[in-house]
């Protein structure tokens, strides 16, 4: 027996079959593997393509994002500017409203001013220099004449100038001035001369005041013009405005009688709506003394006449300028004082 052939048959042939089977199986697995490799390669290529597309889309999105960011910044700037413009608009609108209100007030004041300018304006001007029983004064008579002329020049309809008046005439003329006035009228009363204060009440002294003894206070009261009574008559009238100017703050002329030199500032009752408005102008402050001038007029009268002739000057401004002028000239030794009940500008002369 040929053991070699037998071995080859029983061993070699199975091994060859196994090898053949392995070879066939290997070739099939390689083909599958290669197929999978190709498929994977296609997927990788597809993925790269998608990545490239995504990268392009990303760049485009990034560009769009930058545009949006820029647009948003612009919108914010526009919004901020819009808020600023809105704020400025509100300011302008508020200012326009203020101007409208102011314009309405000006129109009201203009109407009031026109009414005062067109109203009848009467004046009583008194200057007492030549007293019979008390010291003579140098300036009051000429002061009254100067003030009277100035009032005529600025358009007062009726000006009565009294020089060296006695008690009867002073009383009659003041009563006549007030009683003849009608609703809406303006009156102007100027007095220069001696004046005293008794228990807080001001008295304007006529030229015929009697000589007094130590107990002559009651005699003064019955022979001098009581300013409280005069103001009460004005308040009971239909007048619109009463301007009272008193240059009567001089030394006590009654050496034997205890009275207070100078005049006290007005302390009137509370004003009611519709009452005449009183504007009182004193040549000196409460208890102060008015000085005579070096020339024809007193310091106060000279400054008053100068300011009265200025067209379109308001009464309050006139008083302020006279006060400053007198204070400067007298080196603050004489300071005029004002009591004012007016609520709107008063012009004694027309606007230029």
Render 156-168 in DSSP notation, one character per residue: -SEEEEEES--HH
- Choose among 197, 121, 204, 107: nearest CA to 165: 204
Distance CA(90)–CA(140), nearest Å, equals 60
Q: Which residues contact 131 (CB under 8 A, 6 or more apart)?
A: 137, 194, 205, 207, 209, 253
17 pLDDT more than 80: no
pLDDT tens for each residue of 282-291: 999 887 777 7
- What's the confidence (pLDDT) of residue 306? 96
- Binned at pLDDT 50, 70 and 90, residue 106 comes out as low
114 vs 311, residue with greater confidence: 311
Chain centroid to CA 8: 134
Position 169 scores a pLDDT of 97
pLDDT at 114: 44
Tell whether the model's pLDDT for residue 112 goes beyond 60.
no
Q: Tell me the CATH number of domain 119-340, given options 3.10.129.10, 3.10.150.10, 3.40.50.1460, 3.40.640.10.
A: 3.40.50.1460
Nearest to 308 by CA among 158, 160, 139, 155: 155
The pLDDT value recorded for residue 188 is: 96
Cβ burial 294-325 (10 Å sphere, 16+ → b, else e): eeebbbbbbbbbebbeeeebbbeebbebbbeb
CA proximity to 143, closest of 292, 314, 325: 292
Specify whether the CB–CB gap between 206 and 170 falls below 8 A.
Answer: yes
269 Cβ contact list (under 8 Å, min separation 6): 235
Q: Which residues contact 302 (CB under 8 A, 6 or more apart)?
A: 146, 293, 295
Segment 223-251, tens digit of pLDDT: 999 999 999 999 999 888 999 999 986 66
Q: At 148, is the pLDDT very low, low, confident or very high (cuts 50, 70, 90)?
A: very high
Q: What is the pLDDT of residue 269?
A: 46
- Residue 72: its pLDDT value, please? 74
pLDDT tens per residue, range 28-62 = 566 776 787 777 777 777 777 777 777 777 777 77
Three-state SS for 105? Answer: helix
Q: What is the pLDDT of residue 94?
A: 80
pLDDT of 93 higher than 90: no
pLDDT given for residue 14 in this prediction: 60
What's the chain's length in residues?
A: 352
Q: What is the pTM of this model?
A: 0.65
Average pLDDT, the chain: 80
The alpha carbon of residue 4 and the mean position of all alpha carbons in its chain are separated, in whole angstroms, by: 139
Among 10-14, 38-42, 237-241, 296-300, the minimum mean pLDDT is found in 10-14
Examine the pLDDT at 175 and tell me if it is beyond 90: yes
Q: Which residue has the higher pLDDT, 19 or 233?
A: 233
Estimate the crossing angle of helix 167-180 against helix 227-235, to 10 degrees.
20
Contact assessment for residue 212 and residue 219, using Cβ atoms and an 8 Å cutoff = yes
What are the tens digits of pLDDT across the range 251-273?
666 655 544 445 555 554 444 54
Cα separation, 123 vs 160, in Å, equals: 6
């Amino acid at each position: 027996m040929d053991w070699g052939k037998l071995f080859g048959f029983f061993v070699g042939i199975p091994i060859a079959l196994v090898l053949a089977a392995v070879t066939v199986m290997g070739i099939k697995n390689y083909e599958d593997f290669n197929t999978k490799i190709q498929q994977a390669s296609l997927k990788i290529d597809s993925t790269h393509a998608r990545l490239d597309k995504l990268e392009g889309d990303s760049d485009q999105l990034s560009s769009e994002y930058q545009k949006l960011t820029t647009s948003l910044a612009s919108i914010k700037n526009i919004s901020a500017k819009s808020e600023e413009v809105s704020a400025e608009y509100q300011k302008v609108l508020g200012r326009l409203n203020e101007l409208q209100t102011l314009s309405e007030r000006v129109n009201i004041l203009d109407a009031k001013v026109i009414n005062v300018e067109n109203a009848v304006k009467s004046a009583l001007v008194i200057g007492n220099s030549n007293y019979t029983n008390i010291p003579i004064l140098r300036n009051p008579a000429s002061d009254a004449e100067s003030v009277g002329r100035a009032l005529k020049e600025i358009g007062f309809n009726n000006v009565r100038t009294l020089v060296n008046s006695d008690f009867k005439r002073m009383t009659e003329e003041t009563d006549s001035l007030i009683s003849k006035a009608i609703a809406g009228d303006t009156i102007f009363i100027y007095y220069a001369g001696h004046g005293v204060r008794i228990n807080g009440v001001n008295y304007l002294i006529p030229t015929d005041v009697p000589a007094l003894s130590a107990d002559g206070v009651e005699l003064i009261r019955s022979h001098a013009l009581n300013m409280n009574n005069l103001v009460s008559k004005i308040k009971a009238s239909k007048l619109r405005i009463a301007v009272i100017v008193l240059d009567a703050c001089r030394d006590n002329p009654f050496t034997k009688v205890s009275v207070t030199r100078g005049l006290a500032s007005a302390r009137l009752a509370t004003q009611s709506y519709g009452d005449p408005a009183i504007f009182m102008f004193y040549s000196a402050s409460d208890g102060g003394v008015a000085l005579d001038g070096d020339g024809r007029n007193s310091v106060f009268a000279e400054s008053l006449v100068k300011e009265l002739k200025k067209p379109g000057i308001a009464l309050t401004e006139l008083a302020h300028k006279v006060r400053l002028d007198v204070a400067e000239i007298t080196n603050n030794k004489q300071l005029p004082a004002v009591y004012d009940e007016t609520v709107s500008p008063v012009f004694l002369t027309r606007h230029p």
